[in-house]
Amino acid sequence: MRQPERRGPDLRHRYTVADTDVLSDEEVGRFIGDGSADPQINVPLAWELLYRREPGLYDRLAQAERLHPAVIDWLPTGVDRIVEVGAGTGRLTLELVGRARELVAIEPVEPFRKILERKLSRAEHGCSASVIYGFFDELPVADASADVVVVCSAFTSAPAHGGDAGLAEMERVCRPGGYVVIVWPLSAGWLAARGYSHVSFPGEMFVEFSSADEAAELTEIFYPAAAAEVRRNRWRRVPFRALGTEPPRDLAYKVMPEADRSSPNG
């Protein structure tokens, strides 16, 4: 398939309506619905097109945006089963493989699943890891079947990217006493109103690009307001503060309540 010509260097102007032909009918309903089909107006749609049109480009960004090590250390370990939702290209997944006997990575974007499967095939791990198709609001996993249900950066309060239906699905999948965890939460206040606790870890954080040239290239696409400063300073390690975005140092979590054994049905 011939790729439509890119109209601009930054993500907001990178795709046109013609690029939406990569979406399935279900995805059109989810990501466009009654909204704009123009990704230059509908920025969340532009991200969805990036995932499907240029998954390798996104993967380069995700590899540079490394999570705070204390976030990884906080996550439960030595458990039977972890379910990761919206696994993407494996920003968090490869950190999870040694923390459970079984890991199920759920990802709706086919090109991402292929990238993640390749990474997992090369990784040394002592657990069973699988990558399967699914969306937040319809997870193909049984009730109360996971010790930890986790998502990294992909979850928001918007229905197309989680919302109340997605949160309810993650909680359905988690066993009593297990953890539902949202890493790098984009809707912390919304989650707090739904019983989630918030944890944040200190210290300045950087986006760790492979070179100054890659930093300049990817900043131009994803953080255009900071591109001139990054080019001028020839930064390879770009401070998150310079990008005007919160670093991946936070998580929100809920421990699922145990059944009330004092009740007749407990």
Give the pLDDT score at 125. Answer: 64
Q: How confident is the model at residue 9 (pLDDT cuts 50, 70, 90)?
A: confident
Q: Are 47 and 174 in the same domain?
A: no
Q: Are 37 and 89 in the same domain?
A: no
- Residues pairing with 142 in the sheet: none
Residue 239 lies in a domain: no
- Which tokens is 142 given? 């049984």
Q: Are 71 and 48 in the same domain?
A: no
Q: Are 48 and 76 in the same domain?
A: no
Q: Are the C-beta atoms of 84 and 92 separated by less than 8 Å?
A: yes
172: burial class by Cβ within 10 Å (0-12, 13-18, 19+)? middle
Residue that wins the pLDDT comparison between 263 and 240: 240
Residue 234 lies in a domain: no
pLDDT digits (tens, 9 = 90+) for 21-45: 999 999 999 999 989 999 999 999 9
Q: Are the C-beta atoms of 5 and 36 separated by less than 8 Å?
A: no
Q: Are 88 and 192 in the same domain?
A: yes
Residue 107 lies in a domain: yes
| Residue 161 amino acid letter | H
pLDDT digits (tens, 9 = 90+) for 101-156: 999 999 999 999 999 999 998 876 656 899 999 999 999 999 999 999 999 999 99
Distances in whole angstroms, Cα of residue 90 to Cα of each of 114, 152, 196, 241: 11, 10, 24, 24
Share of the chain above pLDDT 90, in %: 86
Q: Are 88 and 179 in the same domain?
A: yes
CA pseudo-torsion sign 171, 173, 175, 178:
negative
Q: Are 21 and 103 in the same domain?
A: no
- Residues pairing with 183 in the sheet: 152, 251
* Domain region containing 49: 11-53
CATH number at residue 93: 3.40.50.150
- Which tokens is 210 given? 């492979």
Q: Are the C-beta atoms of 80 and 149 separated by less than 8 Å?
A: no
Q: Are 71 and 25 in the same domain?
A: no
Q: Are the C-beta atoms of 147 and 83 separated by less than 8 Å?
A: no
Residue 165 lies in a domain: yes
Residue 84 lies in a domain: yes
pLDDT digits (tens, 9 = 90+) for 43-64: 999 999 999 999 999 999 999 9
Number of domains in the chain: 2
